[in-house]
Amino acid sequence: MEKIKKYLLLLMLTFGFVQVKAQIQSDPAHWVYGLKKSVGNTYEVHLQCTIDNGWHIYAEKQTKDFIGTATKIAFVKVPELTLVGQLLENGKKEIYTIKEAGITNYEYADKVEFIQKITVKPGLKEIKGTITYQTCTHDHCLPERTISFTVPIP
């Protein structure tokens, strides 16, 4: 009976260590934000992600058989801000297929930039939003993350 208790304790400590190690995994995706003025009150919001070697994030638009967390950019809605057109993805989109499971994913490795054209009314000082994404290797994924961004308007 004592051996079983020791074994169970060792097992719990091992799983506890694995859980702590997973929680301190640093994020392989590194984000920077910027604003580029176009004409008049029109701008482009640039959300750039640099991804550590061996990792990827998923594209916003995915196949019907996709599993995982597609990248989602959400802007805080305020009356002074209007989104113009669709969110653009600028990067080398890769197609990854898991033939055994019949799953195809669109993903980005190395670097990708998400660009949203906007118009703003006078008085707006900043643009806020969130980015939800998941970083993965072809062996495992980290839990999805949602981060906030703020881009000042000069």
**Residue 48: inside a domain, yes or no?**
yes
Give 50-100 pLDDT, tens digit per residue.
999 999 999 999 999 898 899 999 999 999 999 999 999 999 999 999 888
**Residue 3: inside a domain, yes or no?**
no
Alpha-carbon distance of 20 to 115, in angstroms, equals 36
**Residue 18: inside a domain, yes or no?**
no
pLDDT-derived band of residue 24, with 50, 70 and 90 as boundaries? low
Tokens at residue 144, please?
A: 């999805």
Q: Domain with 32 in it: what CATH number?
A: 2.60.40.1250
Give 100-123 pLDDT, tens digit per residue.
888 999 999 999 999 999 999 999
Number of domains in the chain: 1
Q: Which residues pair with 46 in a beta bridge?
A: 34, 115
Q: What letter represents residue 81's amino acid? A: L
**Residue 7: inside a domain, yes or no?**
no
**Residue 49: inside a domain, yes or no?**
yes
Range(s) of the domain holding residue 91: 26-152
**Residue 69: inside a domain, yes or no?**
yes
**Residue 79: inside a domain, yes or no?**
yes
